[in-house]
Structure 1
Amino acid sequence: MTRSRVEAGPSAGLPAGDWSPYARLEDAARAYFLHPDVALAAIGGMLGRRRVRGFTLERVVDLTEAGASVWQEAAVCDGRRLVLWHSEEVEDRAAPGGTVLDSSVQVLPLSEVRHVGMRTLVGREGPAAGIRRGVYVVVTTGAVQELSAVPPDEGGSGTARFRPEAFRFSKSLDDGGPGQIDRLVAFGELLGRLVPTAR
């Protein structure tokens, strides 16, 4: 199967708007997602009446042998929890059109977060000096996502290596543009400020 990451634009049949100018989650989702009502219903059911403190959105076009499908993601922080939603189209020959939308949501208490890391790429020369060219945010928890055996040394015993659960977010000038870079930086900074007080 061939899979490639492509910024989804008007040619993919998606809303063409940039979500970064919108302060409200509802407005941003409607400007950016292909299925905003599904996303907002899933996230809203978890948030209840709690206020959204910050969020970041992503969408990716998956190119496979079967054609193109859209993967969508939202990470929303209400000050105490991280609500994570994503959806993708999956094959279902019994459904009209041959696909269904697989919508998933989970809630992570910020008290479970063990690490928030952020790496930014900043231009150094010419007109791009001082301009952010990309940002990567990683959030890890204490949960074990993968456990693998390590072969024993000579005369020693084997050990195990574990990989913690991690959630990764990224934006660049090519994927999202400067507005979404700034919004993801703000989201990472928000999580970094809130995590110590959530324990």
Structure 2
Amino acid sequence: MQRSVGPVGSDWSSYERLDDAVRAYFLHAEVALDAITGVLGKHRVQGFTLERVVDLTEAGTSVWQEAAVCDGRRLILWHSEEVVDEQVPGGTVLDSSVQVLPLGSIRHVGMRTLVGRDASGRPVDRGVHLVLATGTPHELNPVPGGDPEAPLTAARFRPEAFRFSKSLEDGGPGQVARLVAFGRLLGRLVPS
């Protein structure tokens, strides 16, 4: 049974259920839910975070959407982006992708919170940045050597990483709190 949710683009942080939050926040909720639940199967969602960015381009408005969902064993990442395709009705197609990572592949969980004070002097989380890094090489950069005979002496690799952020200005206090909770959940679940 589908519950009543606010209009698309509503603050999703008050919704405890993934499907309600996605329907309130995403423009393409059914595409997202189909991709995510197709991977989840009967596994229960333990935590999630959602992101949406609206971009103004020469071709018009573009919407990028992302969900990160943890079922206790895996991190399921879904994202979509509208791509210009002048050969289809409407001129755009939705590029939807899903990626599944076993939690054991995450090598680093880093979370930085920005703590300020409210008008009464009480601490308040003003923002949060969460980084999840894997051991999978994402980018390999050569390190130049000083010898003409050995122009390259080494290489540095940058691991694949996933970044999430929320602030009072971008998402509000509810989404900041939900991202902090998601980061803490992953910190507890990622194997040592």
TM-score, normalized by length of structure 1? 0.88
What amino acid does structure 2 have at the position aligned with 1:76?
V
Match of 1:109 in 2: 102
User: Which structure 1 segments of 5+ residues have no match?
Assistant: 1-13
What amino acid does structure 2 have at the position aligned with 1:84?
L
Q: Map 1:19-34 to 2 at 5 A.
A: 19-34=12-27
> Following TM superposition, where does structure 1 have runs of at least 4 consecutive aligned residues deviating by more than 2 angstroms?
124-129, 153-157
* Greater mean alpha carbon deviation, residues 120-129 or residues 84-93: 120-129
Query: Does the 8 Å contact 2:9/2:26 carry over to 1?
Result: no
Structure 1 residue matching 2:90: 3-state secondary structure = helix
Distance in 1, matches of 2:118 and 2:174, equals 21
Over residues 137-192 of structure 1, what are the superposed CA-to-partner deviations in whole Å (9 max), with x where a residue is unaligned?
00000000000101113587611011000000000001100000000000000000
Q: 1:64 aligns with which of 57, 68, 75?
A: 57
| Higher strand fraction (1 or 2) | 2
| Higher helix fraction (1 or 2) | 1
Displacement of 1:16 in angstroms is 3.7
Displacement of 1:125 in angstroms is 6.8
Over residues 51-71 of structure 1, what are the superposed CA-to-partner deviations in whole Å (9 max), with x where a residue is unaligned?
000000000011111111110
Match of 1:76 in 2: 69
Q: 1:136 aligns with which of 129, 147, 165?
A: 129
Match of 1:90 in 2: 83
Structure 2 residue matching 1:170: 3-state secondary structure = strand
Distance in 2, matches of 1:41 and 1:66, equals 28
Match of 2:3 in 1: none
The yes-or-no answer on 1:50 pairing with 2:43 is yes
Match of 1:100 in 2: 93
Query: Does the 8 Å contact 1:122/1:129 carry over to 2?
Result: no
Q: 1:162 aligns with which of 157, 164, 183?
A: 157
Match of 1:123 in 2: 116
Structure 2 residue matching 1:153: 3-state secondary structure = strand
Distance in 2, matches of 1:145 and 1:57, equals 23
Structure 1 residue matching 2:43: 3-state secondary structure = coil
Displacement of 1:128 in angstroms is 5.8
Match of 1:185 in 2: 180
Q: 2:166 aligns with which of 153, 171, 188?
A: 171
* Greater mean alpha carbon deviation, residues 160-169 or residues 15-24: 15-24
Displacement of 1:196 in angstroms is 2.1
